[in-house]
Amino acid sequence: MKTSTFSTRWLVAYFLVLLVMSATAAAAEPKIPRLRSGKPDFSGIWQTTSAADYDLEPHAARKDAPPGLGIVEGNTIPYLPAALEQKKKNFEARQTDDPRLKCWTLGTPRGIYYPEPFQIFQRDRDLTIVFQFGQSVRTIHTNGTLHPEVIDNEFYLGDSRARWEGDTLLVDVKDFNDETWLDRAGNFHSTALNVVERWKLLDANTIEYKSTLEDPQVYSKPWSISVILQRHREKNFQLIEDYCYTLDYDSYYPVPVKR
């Protein structure tokens, strides 16, 4: 009886030491999910809690937007003078001209911080992002392929080619059209846009997403944004298709059932 109590105490002490050790290790090197290949595994359903889509720049509350500290490094987007005038016009017309209102593909990077979830599916050769909004699909190639030789400015989401820099996924995105806005406040870009993204898992359930936007036709210098994405961990959480562009006509369907 006495022996048993003694060994139980030792056992408890042993596990306490183990617990402290593993906690220390975890603090030093957060455990992140990995593919069999060893690369970080971004698979999952993600969403920002920020107000970035309402306005990338810092803004107080207004009727059409909750307040936000902004996600632009240095707070202000460095527009060229003519582009700044266009941005102001866009802002005034934002209740009607935002392409989001037509449910068009949101673009890159807007889809990432839009307030609806997206799901990442990952293989060694690529990452596939399915956005709940419009169910648009973006492929980020990680198979060593290059941008197309002919750039014809036709893509809403751009053409994404990526490589790994340690555990950070570095994505070069170009070949954009100029149909998308960056947020609901009318921030915009031209077909010359080049987005360089940095995706990093801070821990198993958090992605740090940073990107730098360069567009010599619109901005006086490159500028950067940074946003945190949270993993959806609700039980049985899933994307629900949001083909919102059908909402204007879907009342004409289906054929009414006659009983």
Partner 1 sequence: MKALILGLAVVAFSATATAQGARWETTVRKIESGPWQGARLEDDQPDIQGNWSNTIANHNNFTDPQGAIPGDPSARTRKEKPRDQRAPSRVSSTADGQVPFQPWARDAQQDLQAHLFDPTQPQYIEPLARCAPAGVPKSFMWHGWEIRQYPGYVLFLFDSGTRIIHLDGSPHPSDAIKLWNADSRGHWEGNTLVVDVANNNGKARFARTGEFDSENAKIVERYVFDNDGQHFNYVATITDPTVYTEPWTTTIPARRYSEKDAPDEWHFDVSAANRPGKPLLYENHERICVENNGPFGQVAVTSRK
By CB under 8 A, name the binding residues for partner 1. 36, 43, 86, 102-105, 119, 121-123, 128, 130, 134-139, 141, 143-149, 155-157, 177-179, 190, 236, 238-241, 243, 245-246, 248-250, 252-255, 257-259
Q: Which helix (H) or strand (E) holds 14?
A: helix 2-28
Element (H, E) at 57: none
Judged by beta carbon, residue 40 or residue 70, the one nearer partner 1 is: 40
Q: In degrees rounded to 5, what are phi and psi of residue 52?
A: -60, -40
Between 74 and 254, name the residue whose CB sits nearer to partner 1: 254
- CA-CA distance, 183 to 106, in Å (whole number)? 9
Please state whether the peptide bond connecting residue 33 to the residue before it is cis, i.e. omega within 30 degrees of 0: no
Q: Which of 105, 111, 106, 99 lies closest to 48 in space, CA to CA?
A: 111
DSSP-assigned states of every residue in 78-93 = -B-HHHHHHHHHHHHT
Q: How far is the CB of 121 from partner 1 (least distance, A)?
A: 5
Task: Tell the smallest beta-carbon distance from residue 197 to partner 1 (Å).
Answer: 17
Minimum distance from CB of 75 to partner 1 (Å)? 25
* Residue 101 CB neighbour total at 10 angstroms: 12
Distances (CA, A) of 124 to 21, 36, 67, 130, 206: 33, 9, 40, 17, 21
CB-CB contact of 176 with 191 (8 Å): yes
CA 72 to CA 79: how far, in whole Å?
13
Shortest distance in whole angstroms from residue 49 CB to partner 1: 23
Side chain identity at residue 18, one-letter code: L
Measured from the CB atom, the residue of 148 and 216 that comes closer to partner 1 is: 148
Cβ proximity to partner 1, 5 vs 251, nearer residue: 251
Report the residue number, 67 or 148, with the smaller CB distance to partner 1.
148
Which of residues 167 and 241 has its CB atom nearest to partner 1 in the complex? 241
Torsion of Cα atoms, 247 then 251 then 255 then 256, to 10°: 140
**Given the complex with partner 1, which of 39 and 147 has the nearer CB atom?**
147
The Cα 85–Cα 220 span in angstroms is 14
